[in-house]
Amino acid sequence: MWCPFCNHPETRVIDSRLTSDGFQVRRRRECASCQARFNTFETAVLKAPNVIKSDGSREAFDEDKLRAGMLKALEKRPVETAEVERSMRNLVRRIRTLEEAEISAQQIGEWVAGELSRLDQVAYVRFASVYRRFEDVQAFREEIERLERENPGAVDARQISLLRDERS
């Protein structure tokens, strides 16, 4: 490993340990020439499949794009960052460990919707409205009613009801 300070080609590892999430190895290194110390991080590189878009085009899987979509749906929602990161890791692991060379954007969208549904119902409806291209208010109502039918006891105490109770 080259020293980032003096460009000397030899450094030695002083200490190695796993990061707190367990997905990286942090190595503390020292330059053999200038004795400067610095950290490096090592991660496993897994080849992600190409994504087949709805128009038939293909593009490389982009973790940042996935993260941006989830964060947009979760914007201003009371969901802990650690929960979001856990969901992101689950999704990325699921995608990167596929044995196929390609995956449809629709399949990824379904997985994201599932994670958002578990994290926050409002974020799920936001995502579903774009992902499923809701055309009118009735489409929103139908999706919310379906969500409430499928998860009757899953209403989080942090959230207000998605639909006004018609009996009140």
pLDDT tens column, 95-108: 988 888 999 999 99
Please state whether the predicted TM-score (pTM) of the whole model is above 0.75.
no
* Domain co-membership, 19 together with 63: no
Residue 34 and residue 115 in one domain: no
Task: Tell me the percentage of the chain whose pLDDT exceeds 90.
Answer: 45
Does any domain span residue 3? no
Q: Does 97 reside within a domain?
A: yes
Averaged over 41-54, what is the pLDDT?
85
**How many Å is the maximal CA-CA distance in the chain?**
77
pLDDT digits (tens, 9 = 90+) for 66-90: 999 999 999 999 989 889 999 999 9
So what's the pLDDT on residue 164? 58
Q: Which residues does 70 contact at the CB level (< 8 Å), separation at least 6?
A: 84, 87, 88, 112, 115, 116, 127
Residue position matching structure tokens 């409205």: 129
State the Cα–Cα distance between residues 74 and 34, nearest whole angstrom. Answer: 47
In a domain, 162, yes or no: no
The answer to whether residue 75 is domain-embedded is yes
- Identify whether 143 is part of a domain: yes
Q: What is the mean pLDDT of residues 1-8?
A: 95
In a domain, 94, yes or no: yes
Residues 32 and 92 in one domain: no
Same-domain pairing of 24 and 64: no
Residue 160 lies in a domain: no
Q: Please list the alpha-helical segments (H only) found in 80-136.
A: 81-96, 105-119, 121-131
Tell me the average pLDDT across 5-33.
93
Q: Are residues 58 and 123 in the same domain?
A: yes
Q: How many domains does the chain have?
A: 2
Do 29 and 64 lie in one domain? The reply is no
pLDDT of residue 167: 47
Write out the residue range of the structural domain in which residue 116 sits: 50-150
The string of pLDDT tens digits covering residues 116-147 is 988 988 888 888 877 777 777 777 777 777 77
Question: Does residue 72 share a domain with residue 139?
Answer: yes
Identify the pLDDT of residue 44: 77
The predicted pLDDT at position 84 comes to 92
Q: Give yes or no: residues 67 and 140 share one domain.
A: yes
Are residues 71 and 133 located together in one domain of the fold? yes
